[in-house]
Amino acid sequence: MRVAVLGATGKTGRYLVARLCHDGHAVVALSRKLDRLDAVDGCATRRQADILQRDTIVAALADAECVVSLAHASLAEPLLAALPPLCRWVVLTGSVRRSTALPDPGADGVRRGEAAFRAWIAAGGRGVMLHPSMIFGAPDDRNVGRLLRFMRRWPRALPLVVPLPGGGRHTVQPVYFEDLVAAFAAAVTPSRALPLDIEIVGPQPMQYCDLVRATAAALGRRAWIVPLPLSLLVGVAYVAATLGFKVPFTAAELRRGTESKRFAVEPMQTLLGVRPRAFDVGVREKVTRGWF
């Protein structure tokens, strides 16, 4: 099948392109800048396209039988409006951030994209929207990668002290990038009927404090968690960022870390046949590969 991939240059998209080529698809990799496509698998055809420039995206998708987008969900509406008649199936990316109760412009964009997707399905379109939780593991991942780099810089002679809001008791369910790629590849040619959306998540929720401990353990270190009030940490992150210091997490990310996330993994396993790996396994793989 001819599959066009938007977001082909992204942290996850590069690996999805390689996987779809390996699965025997005729892959068309798209980017706003052609030279960024130098990094994608050589078996893919490369084309320039910007979802926000209608003529470029219409031309680039003209022969696509399936369109997969790893570009942000907020771009769903113009993308869906540019699909060719030939296109039989669409796989879009959302985010579990859609379910946050915090004020979050990123989540608002995901909800807008989801609404556009539902309207398109109601008008006769066919496809699925996959909603990843925190993705980690790719060489340039900004989630766990930042934490690993921070820990690597921390002098070995000093105890590795990590302040977390409330001691990091809230939960998160990170998904390893290769499990995400496997889920997208399965969604391109599903072996059974799929619902409109599926959450793509790690095997179970884990507390932030355990995420930090497992990350330190992957580097052969022990992390000492120090509970601090959120307001203090947000203030420190804000002042440090204002003064130009590198902080592992921004004030907005710290706030998001005080909301527990918990998602069902069974739909991903049953419908897409992907059993995601545990966080400690994924973070050890990342460290072994030297990807941080």
Contact between 172 and ligand NAP (CB under 6 A)? no
Tracing tokens 């509970």 back to the chain, one arrives at 227
Tell which one of 10, 165, 257, 282 touches ligand NAP (CB under 6 A): 10
Contact between 92 and ligand NAP (CB under 6 A)? no
Tell which one of 36, 169, 221, 284 touches ligand NAP (CB under 6 A): 36
**Euclidean distance between CA atoms 137 and 264, whole angstroms:** 21
Contact between 5 and ligand NAP (CB under 6 A)? no
**Residue 93 vs 100, nearer CB to ligand NAP:** 93
Instruction: List binders of ligand NAP among 205-224 (CB under 6 A).
Output: none
**Residue 113 vs 165, nearer CB to ligand NAP:** 113
- Output the smallest distance, CB 116 to ligand NAP, in A: 14
**Residue 36 vs 118, nearer CB to ligand NAP:** 36
Tell which one of 3, 75, 80, 185 touches ligand NAP (CB under 6 A): 75
Q: What is the DSSP string of the chain?
A: -EEEEETTTSTTHHHHHHHHHHTT-EEEEEESSGGGGGGS-TTSEEEE--TTSHHHHHHHHTT-SEEEE-S-GGGHHHHHTT--TT--EEEEE--GGGG--S--HHHHHHHHHHHHHHHHHHTT--EEEEEE-SEE-STT-SSHHHHHHHHHHS-TTS-EEEEEETTS-SEE--EEHHHHHHHHHHHHS-SS---SEEEE--SS-EEHHHHHHHHHHHTT--EEEEEE-HHHHHHHHHHHHHTT---SS-HHHHHHTTS------HHHHHHH---PPPHHHHHHHHHHTT--
Contact between 132 and ligand NAP (CB under 6 A)? yes
**Residue 143 vs 215, nearer CB to ligand NAP:** 143
Tell which one of 50, 178, 179, 210 touches ligand NAP (CB under 6 A): 50
Tell which one of 7, 145, 165, 257 touches ligand NAP (CB under 6 A): 7
- Output the smallest distance, CB 110 to ligand NAP, in A: 8
**Euclidean distance between CA atoms 275 and 266, whole angstroms:** 9
Tell which one of 67, 135, 212, 272 touches ligand NAP (CB under 6 A): 135
Contact between 203 and ligand NAP (CB under 6 A)? no
Contact between 199 and ligand NAP (CB under 6 A)? no
- Output the smallest distance, CB 252 to ligand NAP, in A: 14
Contact between 74 and ligand NAP (CB under 6 A)? no
Strand order of the sheet with strand 127-132?
45-48, 26-31, 2-6, 66-69, 89-93, 127-132, 197-200
* Residues contacting ligand NAP: total by CB under 6 A: 24
Using CB under 6 A, list all residues that contact ligand NAP. 6-7, 9-13, 31-33, 36, 50-52, 70-72, 75, 93, 95, 132, 134-135, 143
